[in-house]
Amino acid sequence: MGAKFEGLLLHSNVRWLSRGAVLNRVFELRREIGEFLSSENDQLTGRFSDASWLRKLAYMSDIFQHLNVLNKSMQGRKMYILHVQDKVQAFTKKIALWSIKLKDGVTEMFPQLHQALLSSGADPGTISPLIQSHLAHLQGYFKEYFPDLEDNSNQNWIRNPFAPGVAHPSHK
């Protein structure tokens, strides 16, 4: 079919693809998957020719890619709770920034979506409200799952014990 992914992946030789990688691969192979589904007369064939659905798939591919990067950055040795809190807090701030940028029609932070919008000539405003709603829900989930992110001022003495105005908790 002309796809650059021709090799058969053997389960014993590769790790399982993460959700983001799977969505990314599905988006990259959307034409080939559409052709295959069409040849099988599958009811999902229409999805892979629906520009609106493909833009949603592109966005989901991008957001899961961002989540995978966050997930991988929080793993490994010497990763302490303060580092994890900083990363999650930074990610929630990114989500807020992305939402603001979407209001202005900027989609570069989502490369697959951006490319899909450019190639179809669609206006970013057609999908922006849906994405902004999803980002707001995602930010809410992060705040619900990590409720103590906003108030971590009592841990500043651990981050930088010599900073001015930082007092050790036992000396207050």
Residue-wise pLDDT for 60-112, tens only, equals 999 999 999 998 888 888 888 888 888 999 999 999 999 999 999 999 999 99
Please list, in sequence order, all residues whose beta carbon lies within 8 angstroms of the beta carbon of residue 145, skipping any fewer than 6 positions away. none
Which pLDDT score, from 0 to 100, does residue 115 have? 95
Contact 60, 26 (CB under 8 A): no
141 pLDDT tier (thresholds 50, 70, 90): very high
Question: Whole-model pTM?
Answer: 0.79
Q: Which long-range contacts (CB under 8 A, 24 or more apart) does 107-115 make?
A: 109/62, 110/58, 110/59, 110/62, 110/63, 111/62, 112/24, 112/27, 112/58, 112/59, 112/61, 112/62, 113/55, 113/58, 113/59, 113/62, 115/58
What is d(CA 99, CA 131) in angstroms, rounded to the nearest whole number?
A: 8
**154 neighbors 169 (Cβ within 8 angstroms):** yes
Rounded distance between C-alpha atoms, residue 104 and residue 88, angstroms: 25
Residue 58 has pLDDT above 90, yes or no: yes
> For residue 16, which amino acid is it?
W
3-state helix, strand, coil in the chain (%, to 5): 65, 0, 35
Report how far apart the first and last C-alpha atoms of the chain are (Å, whole number): 69
User: pLDDT-derived band of residue 13, with 50, 70 and 90 as boundaries?
Assistant: very low
Distance CA 56, CA 134 (A): 11
